[in-house]
Amino acid sequence: MSRPLTVIGFLGSTLDAAKFGPSRWQKWRPSVGICMHEDLRVDRFVLLHGERHGRLAEQVVEDIRTVSPETTVEQRTLGFTNPWDFEEVYGKLLDFARAFPFEPEQEDYLVHITTGTHVIQICLFLLTEARFLPGRLLQTQPSRGEGLNPAGEWSAIDLDLSRYDSIATRFAAAAAEGSSFLKSGIETRNAAFNRMVDEIERVALRSKAPLLLMGPTGAGKSHLARRVYELKRLKHQVAGPFVEVNCATLRGEGAMSALFGHRKGAFTGAVSDRPGLLRAADTGMLFLDEIGELGLDEQAMILRAIEDKRFLPVGSDKEVASDFQLIAGTNRDLGAAVAKGAFRDDLYARLNLWTFTLPGLAQRREDIEPNLDYELDRHAQRDGQRVTFNKEARARYLAFATGPDAPWPGNFRDLAASVTRMATLAPSARIDQDMVEQEIARLRRLWGPAAPDDGLAILLAADILATLDPFDRVQLAEVVRVCRTCRSLSEAGRTLFSASRTRRASSNDADRLRKYLQRFGLEWAALAGA
């Protein structure tokens, strides 16, 4: 037995109106017509209307009872001051939806969106899409073809687009197009990286919240940030410019002035007003690369600018406004920096809503070949000459580039520089095997002894890494690996000290591990969230 069906619809002050008398049955009236279909049994009709249309509503109710005695009609008056005002209409309909005793487990609902002002129809659609109205959309229209049919035609729309194959296919294609755009059309093969870019694409188009891109130098944070901006601009989500700031170059008073601007005379040398980079990014996107290098004072003002869209230029007693979207980049572990007091925890909490860690090139060796082709394409566009490898040379270069002897410490910057050198020196625009051998030798000289690919570069500052003996580095890398696989500090301690703990009268594995990590300025929370 089918479940009861309730239709929720707004009275059409024009479409539902008709002069009283037999002639009204010669006209298509949407609200009445819904209840005249043999293939649509309506058990209850909730008829919404404004205060001015009470008499019309009563006539429609009486006509529904005439054509469908089994339908119970409930009138609900919604007092709109202006039925074309989005805020008022949405608010009143939302209040109705929240107060209505829906029972989706016991009955089905159709939300009629053919009648009412366009604003009412849009608001009903939005409330149904957001599941405040837990039903499907109902559309009606006059009958097509010859012959009068006052019932008209009807169709129900399920907002689960996965049920519509062609629409679902187009949505999937559009999503793939956005993801490919962020990757500059590079057919990357690393599954984890591809999943991350897919998620960045969804977040970028659905949220204005800050993004935090972490990863080693040269991993592509700046390039990805610009692609996110270009994608949002393509979708008309930003109108202003892309402003990129390398925070590592900002020091002292100059940092405040560069970021927030200054007033004339604010300090010696301030001979004119300066708007600042945050003002320059108004209605656009601000990319703060190496944000971990900012001082605590600058961090406090950045937090205020993110949350309130307002800040004080240096030497000014009047705030200025700038509505920008933010992407931050860093090659540091900001969680560890917070623990040391070098980074504000409130700013980190604000940035850490959407955090993505870009792997280095050595962690994406399967993506070296498509990126090699991308760099050759870039060289052709930049210099106007297409350069290619011969078959043996390409095979030799890729064997080296994807092998364990290539650490790629500079990541994609190293790869881009390598391709540029070979393309520039290639005779007759053809890279042969001798040139590849020369380039491999050059890379080995530039890199020196290969640094271990242990992932510590993103956790520790370069000065701390430089003090580690190879023995300590191997040990610390294993401790970090175990911590990332465990659910708690205690579990990690039990795993790491599984043998020695049996020889102790009492053991506090968690405390032993905590003290070991503190030797390197690391905290469990930073590792657990990595």
- 332-360 per-position pLDDT tens digit: 888 888 988 999 999 999 999 999 999 99
What is the structure's pLDDT at 358?
A: 92
What is the structure's pLDDT at 26?
A: 85
Amino acid at site 402: T
Tell me the fold of 5-163. Answer: Rossmann fold (3.40.50)
Give the integer Cα–Cα distance in Å for 424 and 452.
Answer: 31
The residue length of the chain stands at 530
What is the structure's pLDDT at 326?
A: 95
One of 3.40.250.10, 1.10.8.60, 3.40.1480.10, 1.10.630.10 is the CATH number of 363-447, namely 1.10.8.60
For residue 51, pLDDT beyond 90: no
Contact between residue 82 and residue 88 where contact means Cβ atoms under 8 Å apart: yes
Q: What percent of the chain has pLDDT over 90?
A: 48
Mean pLDDT of 30-36: 93
Domain with CATH 1.10.8.60 in the chain: 363-447
Which of 321-325, 392-396, 429-433, 472-476 has the weakest average pLDDT?
A: 472-476
Q: What is the 3-state secondary structure (H, E, C) of 392-432?
A: HHHHHHHHHHCCCCCCCCCCHHHHHHHHHHHHHHCHHHEEC
Return the closest-CA partner of residue 372 out of 349, 395, 342, 347.
395
What is the structure's pLDDT at 140?
A: 93
pLDDT band, residue 161 (cuts 50/70/90): low
**CA 461 centroid distance within chain:** 29
For residue 145, pLDDT beyond 70: no
**CA 453 centroid distance within chain:** 29
Better-predicted residue by pLDDT, 20 or 225: 225
What is the structure's pLDDT at 262?
A: 78
For residue 162, pLDDT beyond 70: no
pLDDT band, residue 147 (cuts 50/70/90): low
Give the integer Cα–Cα distance in Å for 76 and 54.
Answer: 10
What is the structure's pLDDT at 463?
A: 67
Mean pLDDT of 223-245: 92
For residue 165, pLDDT beyond 90: no
Mean pLDDT of 190-216: 92
Mean pLDDT of 399-404: 90
* Secondary structure (3-state) at 62: helix
Give the integer Cα–Cα distance in Å for 143 and 149.
Answer: 6
Does CATH place domain 180-357 in 3.20.20.70?
no
- pTM, two decimals, is 0.63
* Secondary structure (3-state) at 453: coil
Better-predicted residue by pLDDT, 452 or 91: 91
For residue 325, pLDDT beyond 90: yes
For residue 169, pLDDT beyond 70: no
Give the integer Cα–Cα distance in Å for 428 and 376.
Answer: 15
Domain with CATH 3.40.50.300 in the chain: 180-357
Mean pLDDT of 274-284: 90
What is the structure's pLDDT at 168?
A: 55
Which of 98-107, 131-140, 145-154 has the weakest average pLDDT?
A: 145-154
Give the integer Cα–Cα distance in Å for 343 and 214.
Answer: 15
For residue 372, pLDDT beyond 70: yes
Give the integer Cα–Cα distance in Å for 92 and 75.
Answer: 15
Return the closest-CA partner of residue 205 out of 224, 179, 183, 186.
179
What is the structure's pLDDT at 75?
A: 94
What is the structure's pLDDT at 454?
A: 64
For residue 369, pLDDT beyond 90: yes
Better-predicted residue by pLDDT, 180 or 436: 436
Mean pLDDT of 444-448: 88
Contact between residue 414 and residue 361 where contact means Cβ atoms under 8 Å apart: yes
For residue 258, pLDDT beyond 70: yes
pLDDT band, residue 509 (cuts 50/70/90): confident
Domain with CATH 3.40.50.10770 in the chain: 5-163
What is the structure's pLDDT at 284?
A: 94
Better-predicted residue by pLDDT, 276 or 112: 112
